Amino acid sequence: DTGVSQNPRHKITKRGQNVTFRCDPISEHNRLYWYRQTLGQGPEFLTYFQNEAQLEKSRLLSDRFSAERPKGSFSTLEIQRTEQGDSAMYLCASSPKTRPDTQYFGPGTRLTVL
Amino acid sequence: GDSVTQMEGPVTLSEEAFLTINCTYTATGYPSLFWYVQYPGEGLQLLLKATKADDKGSNKGFEATYRKETTSFHLEKGSVQVSDSAVYFCALTLNSGYSTLTFGKGTMLLVSP
């Protein structure tokens, strides 16, 4: 396994700008998760994909957030009109069909909104 | 809703000391329980897990026992090393759901030589 990769690793943007993050899960993992982690807190679930279908979204995922997994492989998370409160680490995880409860996490994308 | 409560850190120990990090949970169903570790500058790594009551998860000298009667999953290690310094997260997932994880706030462990 090459592991879950995320790009970019760091993003600094100005309030009001749009940003997009990418996650490449472990090959053949059909489940993909996005979490958000703020300083001093544990990760909080944002959304979940099984293959290309987005099956669950947290109430944390406001209408400024959108996620896609168009071909059931990589996923993108877009935040429109960023706010300072969006500053956080955005984590992606994937898990295989045979062991859905074992999630492998990427290194995260750290977003700073100025 | 489902939640996980961990003891607050930092926990500061000398090398070879005994470690306990407390974790309790609240869940509406029958959860699986996990400990994840986050080393400085790295991503979350699964440390150990237990899927049903009385199961013991173990890895790298760490262990935790799923106690349904006390809704707890305390992490223990008999002799810590400096390299164990990290943030430890307790988490649960409901077996009836999509396996989304609910995490505690994390406990930082600092081990000095």
* Tens-level pLDDT at each residue, chain A (114 residues): 579 999 999 999 999 999 999 999 999 899 999 999 998 899 999 999 999 999 999 988 889 999 999 988 999 999 999 999 999 999 999 999 888 888 999 999 999 999
Which residues in chain A are closer than 8 Å to B51, comparing Cβ atoms?
101
Sort out which chain B residues have CB atoms less than 8 A from A31's CB and list them. Answer: 98-99
Q: What are phi and psi of B58, to 5 degrees?
A: -150, 150
A35 — contact with chain B (CB < 8 Å)? yes
Please tell me if residue A85 touches chain B, with a CB cutoff of 8 Å: no
Residue B36 is encoded by which pair of tokens? Answer: 């994840």
Q: Six-digit token pair at A36?
A: 């958000």
Question: What's the gap in Å between the CA of B103 and the closest CA on chain A?
Answer: 5
And the tokens for A48? Answer: 């979940």
Structure tokens at A90: 């955005």
* pLDDT tens for each residue of B19-71: 999 999 999 878 999 999 999 888 899 999 999 999 999 999 999 999 999 99
Closest C-alpha among B90, B50, B51, B53 to residue B68 = B53
